[in-house]
Amino acid sequence: MLKKHQSLLLITTLAAVMLLAAACGGNKATPTPAPSADDTAALPAPNLVQPESPVAVEQSVSRSPVSGPGAAAGARTFRIVPEQSEARYEVDEEFLGGASDAINKLAGLIETVGRTRAVKGDFQFNISGDQVTVAGGSIVVDLTTLASDDSRRDQRIRTQYLESSQYPLAEFAPTAIKNFPAGAAEGQDVPFQLLGDLTIRNITQPATFNVTAKLEGNALSGTARTTLLMTDFGFEPPNIANILKVADEFVVTIDFTAVQQ
């Protein structure tokens, strides 16, 4: 009886091997007859192999080559802290021979500076790893609050030259970042250029600020600086015969601290 059972197992196994060989070698699959109850009991249990999980393919994404590594992906909004920020202008003034009698100023060339802390605004960056793009925002300065070392000058700027009494606000809307250095890290002073549109006296001109900034946690601080021409914004530099002559070119600097919202 044992020999008969072993013979039946051998015959069944040989038949299965022949059917498998035929299926692999031929062009068409040969249907396999359903095994009987006895054959099924004699065959060993199949060794089931689970298919491998599909391998994820990383997609290549084109990004603008700008800004801070290590940050979480997504937009970050920073708000200017006026108490810790300042906007100022710097311009060369030349006092002429008649200045001594007319306005009690000695003849000579000086650099005049006007300052204000009336700076506010938000700006947003899309940050993904070491890639950053500008998402929006603006920085606004109240020009009526600019103060230098001479109140007479400040009054003339408000009413006659810059006419800030009529056009009180200057606004810069950033649109792009350029030349952000590779490998910059949080806590470092990082130089780059911030491009955007600057509006003064309702005249908008493209402007590029040279920025040095540092990101520490949720605080962003730094200095932004650009050079402008008065005539580009529709007003002539002061020029009073034999008393005063002011350069057309002036520098705008913003020292800022901003906190993430």
Q: pLDDT (tens digit, 9 = 90+) per residue, 212-249?
A: 999 899 999 999 999 999 999 999 999 999 999 999 99
Query: Model confidence over 80-122: pLDDT tens digits?
Result: 999 999 999 999 999 999 999 999 999 999 999 999 999 999 9
Query: Identity (one letter) of the amino acid at 231?
Result: T
257 sits in the region (left: phi over 0; alpha: psi -120 to 50; else beta) called beta
Q: What is the three-state SS of 15-48?
A: HHHHHHHHHHHCCCCCCCCCCCHHHHHHCCCCCC
CA distances from 161 to 153, 201, 224, 238 (A): 10, 11, 24, 7
Query: Is the model's pLDDT at 143 over the cut of 50?
Result: yes
Q: How confident is the model over 142-150, as a mean pLDDT?
A: 97
Domains, the chain, in order of start with CATH, read 2-42 (no CATH), 71-260 (2.40.128.110)
pLDDT at position 186 is 84
pTM: 0.70
Q: What is the pLDDT of residues 14-66, one digit of tens each?
A: 333 333 333 334 444 444 444 444 444 444 444 434 434 333 333 322 223 33
Q: What pLDDT shows up at residue 223?
A: 98
Per-residue pLDDT reduced to its tens digit, 53-89 = 333 333 322 223 333 333 445 789 999 999 999 999 9
> 127: which 2 tokens?
């940050």
Give me the amino acid identity at 113: V
